[in-house]
Amino acid sequence: MFYCAFEILKDSYSAEDAVHEAFIAVSRNLSKLSSADSPETAAYCCRAAKTRALNILEMKKRELEHGRPLDENEDILFEESEFERICALSDTERIARCINRLPQIYREVIVLKYLDDMSVARISKALGRNRETVKKQLLRARGMLKKMLEEETL
């Protein structure tokens, strides 16, 4: 968990804070976890640490940028049905590979949205990002995924 948080924050004290916050989040969800040794549980713990780390990172950025939300003025042109079509044609392994090629800020919103079934509001709270920003990042992430999947298909 520390490693995951440190990779994002590059600061051991902040990473330790992220680990503590993740620890609390994990302890609240113990009943949802399967066995302690399973890869799913390990991945969940790492994701919890990463999510907290990204939240802390976001707070730090906001402090520097005086509260300006990220990506606020970016335009997104995106066909949702096209994304669904290309996903339907692709196998999960290929989609997983493309998810891991996404830039981290987009990868996290995709994972929280689809793996944890989080709403935009909850993702926004978990990552400490503006709700509109999360919406746009989610759209953009899907757009990027679509493009990657199309490229892989070709």
Partner 1 sequence: MKINEKLKRASLEAEITEYNKIPDDSEIDWEPSKEFNEKSEVLLQSVQAPKRRFLTPARVAVCASIAVAAAILAVGHIASPNGLFGESVYYSESVTSESSPALEEVYPKYIPDGYVLSDKEFSVNGSTRLEYTNGNSKIVFYSYPAKKIDYSQFDDVIGVFETSENIFMNATNFAPVETPEFLANNSIAWNNGSETFVVLNNADVSVDELLKIAQSVEENETD
* Contacts to partner 1 by CB under 8 A: 2-4, 6, 12-13, 16, 19-20, 23-24, 27-28, 30-31, 39-40, 42-44, 46-47, 84, 87-88, 92-93, 95-97, 99-100, 107, 110-111, 114-115, 117
Structure tokens at 136: 């746009």
Give the shortest CB-76-to-partner 1 separation in angstroms: 19
What sign has the CA pseudo-torsion 19, 67, 73, 80?
positive
Q: How crowded is the C-beta side of 88, counted as CA atoms within 13 Å?
A: 6
Q: Which is nearer to partner 1, 39 or 67 (CB)?
A: 39
- Calpha distance 111→134 (Å, rounded): 13
Q: For partner 1, which is the closer residue by CB, 57 or 141?
A: 141
- 8 Å CB contact between 66 and 39: no
* 47 vs 129 by CB, closer to partner 1: 47
Q: Which is nearer to partner 1, 16 or 132 (CB)?
A: 16
Smallest separation, CB 36 to partner 1 (Å): 14
β strands within 3-108, DSSP E? none
